C-alpha cells in the first residue's frame, strides 16, 4: 500500500488533550525530552511538539511500517522516530544520547487505519489476508501461526488473551478445518468461530474475542507492555510522568498493577527501631484516571473502552 492509500484511512486520536496535558509540560519544562511510545498516526506527537520549545525534544516509537512512513512526514529537527516497539526504550534512548526523559506517553490501542485496511487482517468486517502483524517486516502472520500451532496452544491463546469461554471449541474447529482447507482469510476465520461459539454476546460479533486474542499473541503486545512499562519507569527523571491509555481489561490490569507496585511500599515491623528517614518510600505517585467524555464517545465510538492512567516518578526519599 502506498502512503497516499494509507492516508485515505483516517484516525481519531483518543484522549488527545487529556493524555498530553497529563504530562505537565509547563513553561519550565518545554525544553525537556519526551517520548511517544506509540506514534500511530501522530496525533499525540504533533500536539506534544506544539507545546515544546525550540530546545525541546520528542522521540517516538512504532512497529508499524505505515506509521513510520507517516512519521517521516514530520520535518521537525526536534523529532525523531524509531522503528521498533516501546519495549526497546532501554536500548534505543542511550543510542540516541538520551539519559533521563521528562515524560512518556503510551497509547496502547490499534489505529483506525490498521483496523479499516482489510489488507492488514486485523478486522473481520471486510475480507482480507489473515496477517495481523503490526510490523509486516518481522515475525509470522496469523495465518502462518494457525497453520502449525497445536490445538492446546490455540486454546490457551484464545482463552488467556481473548477471555473467550468457548476457546476449546474454537481451537478444535480451527484444527479440523485446516486439515481440509488452509485458513488464509479474515472472513474464513470469522465463519469458523461463528459456528463454534454457541451463544453470542449482545451487540458483539462472536469472532471479536478470538481476533483480539490472536492479534495480541502475534504481536507480543502484553509482553512488550510489561517490558516497556519497566523500561519507561527507569528512563523517567524525578517528577517525570507516564501517561498510558489502555483499551481492554488485560492491558489496563497490567498498567494498574505496575503503577500500584511502584506506589505501594512494604511496611516494616513497627516493633523494630527504624528511623522515619529509613522507612521505604513510594517510587511513584498516582495522579489521575480518566475516561473519554460522553461527547468524545459519541464522536468516536471506538474510544468507549479507553482508560488513561497517569503516574509521576518520585525522587528517592520523597514521599
User: In the prediction, which pLDDT does 280 show?
Assistant: 67
- The string of pLDDT tens digits covering residues 216-251 is 999 999 999 999 999 999 999 999 999 999 999 999
Residues 57 and 199 reside in one and the same domain: no
Residues 177 and 295 reside in one and the same domain: no
**228 annotated as ligand-binding:** no
In a domain, 118, yes or no: no
- 278 pLDDT band, cuts 50/70/90, is low
Count of domains observed in the chain: 2
Which has more confidence, 242 or 200? Answer: 242
Query: Is pLDDT above 90 for 179?
Result: yes
By residue range, what is the domain housing residue 306? 3-112+221-313
**162 annotated as ligand-binding:** no
In whole angstroms, give the CA distance from residue 50 to residue 99: 23
Query: Is pLDDT above 60 for 13?
Result: yes
**185 annotated as ligand-binding:** no
**62 annotated as ligand-binding:** yes
Average pLDDT, the chain: 91
Residues 205 and 72 reside in one and the same domain: no
**86 annotated as ligand-binding:** yes
In whole angstroms, give the CA distance from residue 283 to residue 292: 28
Task: State which of 164, 196, 218 marks the end of a domain.
Answer: 218
- The string of pLDDT tens digits covering residues 113-154 is 787 788 898 888 889 999 999 999 999 999 999 999 999 999
**Contact between 185 and 173 (Cβ < 8 Å):** no
**103 annotated as ligand-binding:** no
In a domain, 79, yes or no: yes
In whole angstroms, give the CA distance from residue 247 to residue 226: 15
Q: Give me the numbers of helices (H) and strands (E) for the chain, helices first please.
A: 14, 7
Task: State which of 167, 198, 218 marks the end of a domain.
Answer: 218
- 1 pLDDT band, cuts 50/70/90, is very low
User: In the prediction, which pLDDT does 273 show?
Assistant: 58
- 9 pLDDT band, cuts 50/70/90, is very low
In whole angstroms, give the CA distance from residue 145 to residue 198: 25
CATH number, domain with residue 288:
3.40.50.150
**107 annotated as ligand-binding:** yes
The pTM of this model reads 0.89
- 7 pLDDT band, cuts 50/70/90, is very low
Beta bridge partners of 104: 35, 242
**Is residue 232 within a helix (H) or strand (E), and if so which, with residue range?**
helix 221-235
Amino acid at each position: 500500500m502506498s502512503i497516499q492509500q494509507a492516508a485515505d484511512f483516517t484516525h481519531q486520536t483518543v484522549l488527545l488533550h487529556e493524555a498530553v496535558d497529563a504530562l505537565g509540560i509547563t513553561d519550565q519544562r518545554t525544553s525537556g525530552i519526551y517520548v511517544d511510545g506509540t506514534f500511530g498516526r501522530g496525533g499525540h506527537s504533533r500536539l506534544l511538539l506544539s507545546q515544546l520549545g525550540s530546545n525541546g525534544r520528542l522521540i517516538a516509537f512504532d512497529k508499524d511500517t505505515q506509521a513510520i512512513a507517516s512519521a517521516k512526514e514530520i520535518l521537525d529537527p526536534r523529532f525523531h522516530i524509531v522503528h521498533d516497539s516501546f519495549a526497546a526504550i532501554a536500548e534505543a534512548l542511550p543510542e540516541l544520547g538520551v539519559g533521563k526523559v521528562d515524560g512518556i506517553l503510551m497509547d496502547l490501542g490499534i489505529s483506525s487505519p490498521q483496523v479499516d485496511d482489510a489488507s492488514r487482517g486485523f478486522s473481520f468486517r471486510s475480507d482480507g489476508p489473515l496477517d495481523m502483524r503490526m510490523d509486516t517486516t518481522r515475525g509470522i502472520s496469523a495465518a502462518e501461526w494457525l497453520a502449525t500451532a497445536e490445538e492446546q496452544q490455540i486454546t490457551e491463546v484464545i482463552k488467556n488473551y481473548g477471555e473467550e469461554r468457548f476457546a476449546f471449541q474454537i481451537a478444535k474447529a480451527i484444527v479440523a478445518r485446516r486439515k481440509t482447507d488452509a485458513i488464509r482469510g479474515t472472513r474464513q476465520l470469522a465463519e469458523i468461530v461463528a459456528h463454534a461459539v454457541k451463544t453470542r454476546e449482545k451487540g458483539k460479533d462472536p469472532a471479536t474475542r478470538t481476533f483480539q486474542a490472536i492479534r495480541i499473541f502475534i504481536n507480543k503486545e502484553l509482553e512488550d507492555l510489561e517490558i516497556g512499562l519497566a523500561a519507561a519507569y527507569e528512563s523517567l527523571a524525578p517528577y517525570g510522568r507516564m501517561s498510558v491509555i489502555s483499551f481492554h481489561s488485560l492491558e489496563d490490569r497490567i498498567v494498574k498493577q505496575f503503577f500500584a507496585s511502584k506506589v505501594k511500599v512494604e511496611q516494616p515491623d513497627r516493633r523494630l527501631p527504624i528511623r522515619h528517614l529509613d522507612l521505604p518510600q513510594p517510587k511513584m505517585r498516582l495522579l489521575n484516571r480518566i475516561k473519554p467524555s460522553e461527547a468524545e464517545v459519541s464522536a468516536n465510538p471506538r474510544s468507549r473502552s479507553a482508560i488513561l492512567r497517569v503516574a509521576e516518578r518520585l525522587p528517592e526519599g520523597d514521599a
